[in-house]
Amino acid sequence: MLRTTGAIACVAALSVGLWAAPVSANKANDTLNVAWDQQIDNADAYFNTNREGILLARMVWDQLIERDPETFQYKPALATAWRWVDDLTLEFDLRQGVKFQDGQPFDAEDVVYTLNFVSNPANKVLNTTNVGWIKNAEKVDQYKVRIHLKAPFPAALEYIAGPIPIYPHVYYAKVGPDGMGRHPVGTGPYKVQSLEPGKSITLVKNTDYWNDSPKGNPKIGKIVVSFPPEKTTQMAELLSGGLDWIWYVPTDQVKNLERVKGLTVTSGETMRVGYIYFDAAGRTGKSPLQDVRVRQAIAYSINRPEFTKTFFASTANVLKGPCFPTQFGCYQGATQYDYNLAKAKELMKEAGHPDGFSTTLYAFRQPPSWEDALAGYMRQIGIQAQIQLLQYPAFRNKNHEGVTPISFGDWGSYSINDASAILGNFFTGSPDDFSGDMELQGWVHEADTNSDPKKREEFYKKAIDRIMDRMYWLPMNSYAIYYAHTSELNFTPYKDEIPRYYLYSWK
Amino acid sequence: MAAVPTDRSRQAQGKGRPLFVYFIKRSFVALLVAITVSVVSFLLLHVSGDLAQSLAGPSASAADVAQVRKAYGLDRPMVIQYLDWAGKAIRGDFGYSFFLKQPVFPIIADRLPVTMMLGVSALVIALFVSIPLGIAAALRPNSWIDRLALTVSVFGQALPSFWFGLLLMMLFGVTLRWLPVSGTGGWQYYVMPAITLSYYSIPTFMRLTRAGMMEVLASDYIRTARAKGLRTPTVLFKHALRNAIIPLVAVAAVQLGFALGGSIVIEAVFSLHGVGYLGWESISRADFPVVQAIVLILALFYIVLTLLADLLNAFLDPRIRVR
């Protein structure tokens, strides 16, 4: 009897745990505890390429222009006005009275130094697509600068309003990227109070944040970022009140969390797109993947609607092209690969691989069930894919080294609403380009740089048709992610997948 | 009352090499093992890929890579590179972390106390639970307590540690809120991880204690002790346990080594920033200098612990010195 009662009590206690309201001492302390999934290898925004780096950058630094997250309209930020002088020159009037967090006043010297440093190939910033279009920056007077472009680049303002934060020139010249990575200093709404690489980042409200910022004045006093590697641990922390906000909640856990009093689960589609790309160029050596029929077979073998429905929120959509539909130039009429196992097997047989082959699937995104599912689909046509699940910086490095025969990844386009932000990264001969298709590279380059919108669309259509016909890159689905947070937080998800903690507040 | 001649005292009267000689011999063997481990650890970094390419970065040109290769001495013969690396490793210089851009040794030194605390705590918990359970099982063979002990043993070997850890987390961290769910901090942060880590060692310790006690309790000198009217606690703890526990000493040292190496999963689940977690992170971000240093340091700990266990055993049982 005692044993039975004890067993029931244990089960009940565990069950209650799932529905017990999390204690939120954090509101009382005005501290928002958040968990990010991927660690940032260098906090310097130009020397990391993961989403978490963007989140940090938006808190610590400002750009010349701020894009409204709801309307996508451009608003004055560190620049109060701007204009195209000609196809190759942008001019900005700078805001006066702004100070960096180390007390240095902001002016044209900072813009010029930042842009000239990051656009210089010798400084090896990690994502050259973001800054590679800049020829140089020129100081006109203390509060006016001109940016000279290498070639016409219609998406320039999108990048200026996105992944191009402005740094303090005196500090950056002194400490460089490594120093900025250890002790970030910017003009932004939050200051880094402490940064323990791989462990945590603590940010505090910048009480001297400049007025009239489109980011408003931050309302939450302190934000503590941690990186618990296990999603289960993150959810346990959320339930116990140790965390207030997590994202990328696995779909199968959503209903459990929704039942918990004191927690809110929100979902929203984002511009992030999932993809699988293949080494068509033979960078990893001679392999069956160089045969278009094999790549097409793999595409036909993957049930994308089933994959999307199983692992993503209902707001996620299967993609028709290698870009997010709202991005300018994202043509939607290319060849499609609906799930067709018979056709997949036929193509494998035609290509001389009726029994399949062995390969390696590289990925970085948790949970591993996603990669297991993809490997399972490929097994149907005899392909034995060994899974290598890495942290993002290692995954990125492996891609750049050219040792990845098949990669499953996702790309947020730095939230740039232009196809140049995705096609420009993967199909212009960069280390991420596994197509080896020079003609395709030419079309993408032409589309990225032509100032005539109609011509741009025409070249993007050609490029997308080529990518899909030759199956260099299988677009999977848009990512709709689930966020789970304390109900005491006013939180809004945005399509550009940038949580703006400076806009959030306690209820 | 005359002292009961214990098995130990008989051993002390027996023949055996001086402890010092035994120490020298075992130390020599330990040194050979350490050198072998260092060679394996050194080779790990080089078989992982082109080290010069990794150092230069993914977007480096061929000329950059060649420059890095020369600057880091990677164009020298492998034996020279190993001797240079080993020389630096002895002085605590394990190179630079690719990810953290800092010297490796201070990173590991910063995290080592967490892993040591976890390992030692797990060992103490395991001994605290398994020795009494083993003694009780030995005193009452085939009783309910013996069955309970065997059940604990089976579960401990079969239960995946990460799952057990998550169960503890949900019960004590989420439901009862007695302990913090994860992270590194005061002693409270070590309770659940230490229990989880200890659970794997408990069956081994318990079975050894049980078997040792059963063997000792059947021996003549214990029968003599009982016949002389000594109280049961005296027989058990002063005479029997001291002999029965000898094999446990060696196993405990080995288990501590396992705990230090096996903490990788526990530290990841509980976000404890120890060496195990660092190792997990470094593997997933291909930070090979850190991985290499962790492998070497943990292996050296294991070697030293095994040596100490051997010496302790030899001290407790001089018969071992003869073998």
Distance CA B188, CA B121 (A): 12
Q: List the beta strands (DSSP E) in A412-490.
A: 473-486, 489-490
The total number of residues shown for chain B amounts to 323
Give me the residue from A178, A236, A398 closest to B101, CB to CB.
Answer: A178
- Tokens representing residue A150 in the block: 């290498």
Give CA separation, B42 vs A387, B75, B90, B170, B201, in Å.
26, 15, 13, 41, 31
Residue-level pLDDT at A23: 52
Residue-level pLDDT at B48: 63
Among all residues of chain A, which has the CA nearest to that of B62? A401
Distance CA B280, CA B148 (A): 35
Residue-level pLDDT at B60: 59
Residue-level pLDDT at A7: 38
Name the band, by pLDDT with cuts 50, 70 and 90, for residue B148: confident
Q: What is the DSSP string of A296-357?
A: HHHHHHS-HHHHHHHHS-TT--B-SSSS-TTSBT----S------HHHHHHHHHHTT-TT--
Mean pLDDT to the nearest integer, B83-89: 86
Element containing residue B316 per DSSP (H, E): helix B288-316
Chain B, 82 to 121: residues with Cβ < 8 Å from chain A are 99-102
User: Do the Cβ atoms of A125 and A131 come closer than 8 Å?
Assistant: yes
Q: What is the pTM of this model?
A: 0.78
Residue-level pLDDT at A19: 44
Residue-level pLDDT at A113: 98
Q: pLDDT tens for residues B219-275?
A: 888 888 888 888 878 777 777 777 777 778 778 888 888 777 778 889 989 999 999
Residue-level pLDDT at B57: 59
- Residue B287: CB atoms within 10 A of its CB come to 26
| Residue B322 DSSP label | H
Mean pLDDT to the nearest integer, B23-47: 82
Distance CA B274, CA B281 (A): 11
SS3 B72: coil
Distance CA B263, CA B271 (A): 11
Residue-level pLDDT at A71: 87
Query: Is pLDDT of B181 > 70?
Result: yes
Among A482, A39, A92, CA closest to A255: A482
In this complex, do B173 and A240 lie within 8 Å of one another by their Cβ atoms?
A: yes
In this complex, do A17 and B181 lie within 8 Å of one another by their Cβ atoms?
A: no
Distance CA A177, CA A188 (A): 18
Residue-level pLDDT at B199: 86
To the nearest whole Å, the CA of A473 is away from the closest chain B CA by 21
Chain B residues lying within 8 Å of A17, measured CB to CB: 170-171, 174-176
- Tokens representing residue A424 in the block: 């420009």
Mutation target for A interface from B48, B50, B55, B59: give the one with most A CBs within 10 A: B59
CA angle (A172, A173, A175) in 5-degree steps: 60
Give CA separation, A119 vs A114, A261, A401, B287, in Å.
8, 50, 22, 28
Give me the residue from A128, A228, A239 closest to B174, CB to CB.
Answer: A239
Chain B residues lying within 8 Å of A390, measured CB to CB: 284-286
> In chain B, pLDDT over 70 holds for what percent of residues?
86
Distance CA A262, CA A251 (A): 19
Chain A residues lying within 8 Å of B174, measured CB to CB: 17-18, 20, 236, 239-240
Distance CA A497, CA A506 (A): 21
Distance CA B162, CA B139 (A): 33
Distance CA A418, CA A155 (A): 7
Q: pLDDT tens for residues B5-16?
A: 444 444 444 445
Mean pLDDT to the nearest integer, B113-131: 91
Q: pLDDT tens for residues B197-209?
A: 998 888 889 888 8
What HEC string does A243-269 produce?
CCEEECCCHHHHHHHHCCCCEEEEEEE
Distance CA B173, CA B165 (A): 11
> Own/partner pairs for B174-179, CB < 8 Å, 24+ apart?
B174/A17, B174/A18, B174/A20, B174/A236, B174/A239, B174/A240, B175/A13, B175/A14, B175/A16, B175/A17, B175/A20, B176/A13, B176/A17, B177/A23, B177/A240
| Rg, Å, chain A Cα set | 24
Tell me the count of A-B CB pairs closer than 8 A. Answer: 108
To the nearest whole Å, the CA of A125 is away from the closest chain B CA by 9
**DSSP β-bridge partners for residue B214:** none
Distance CA A159, CA B144 (A): 72
Residue-level pLDDT at A318: 96
Give CA separation, B148 vs B123, B133, B229, in Å.
21, 9, 31
- Tokens representing residue B102 in the block: 């800092």
- Residue A134: CB atoms within 10 A of its CB come to 22
Name the band, by pLDDT with cuts 50, 70 and 90, for residue B49: low
Among all residues of chain A, which has the CA nearest to that of B283? A390
Instruction: Using a CB–CB cutoff of 8 Å, tell me whether B281 touches chain A.
Output: yes
Distance CA B126, CA A442 (A): 66
In this complex, do B174 and A236 lie within 8 Å of one another by their Cβ atoms?
A: yes
Instruction: Using a CB–CB cutoff of 8 Å, tell me whether A242 touches chain B.
Output: yes
Q: Which residues contact B43 (CB under 8 A, 6 or more apart)?
A: none
Give me the residue from B166, B171, B284 closest to A390, CB to CB.
Answer: B284
| Residue B96 DSSP label | B
Residue-level pLDDT at B56: 64
SS3 A138: strand
Chain B, 124 to 183: residues with Cβ < 8 Å from chain A are 166, 169-171, 173-177, 180-183
SS3 A102: coil
Mutation target for B interface from A23, A397, A407: give the one with most B CBs within 10 A: A397
User: Do the Cβ atoms of A387 and A361 come closer than 8 Å?
Assistant: yes
Q: Which residue has the higher pLDDT, B3 or A151?
A: A151
Q: Which residue has the higher pLDDT, B151 or A475?
A: A475
- Residue A11: CB atoms within 10 A of its CB come to 10
Query: What string of pLDDT tens digits covers the 507 residues of chain A?
Result: 434 433 333 444 444 444 444 555 588 899 999 999 988 888 999 988 888 999 999 999 999 999 999 888 999 999 999 999 999 999 999 999 999 999 999 999 999 999 999 999 889 888 787 899 999 999 999 999 999 999 998 889 999 999 999 999 999 999 999 999 999 999 999 999 999 887 899 999 999 999 999 999 999 999 999 999 889 999 999 999 999 999 999 888 999 999 999 999 999 899 999 999 999 999 999 999 999 999 999 999 999 999 999 998 888 999 999 999 989 999 999 999 999 999 999 999 999 999 999 999 999 987 789 999 999 999 999 999 999 998 887 888 889 889 999 999 999 888 889 999 999 999 999 889 999 999 999 999 999 988 888 999 999 999 999 999 999 999 999 998 899 999 999 999 998 889 999 999 999
| Average pLDDT of the residues of chain B | 81
Displacement of CA B39 from its chain's centroid (Å): 21
Instruction: Using a CB–CB cutoff of 8 Å, tell me whether A431 touches chain B.
Output: yes
Give CA separation, B264 vs B175, B179, B271, B279, B297, in Å.
26, 21, 10, 7, 14
| Residue B169 DSSP label | I
DSSP-H helix ranges across B7-59? 7-13, 19-47, 51-56
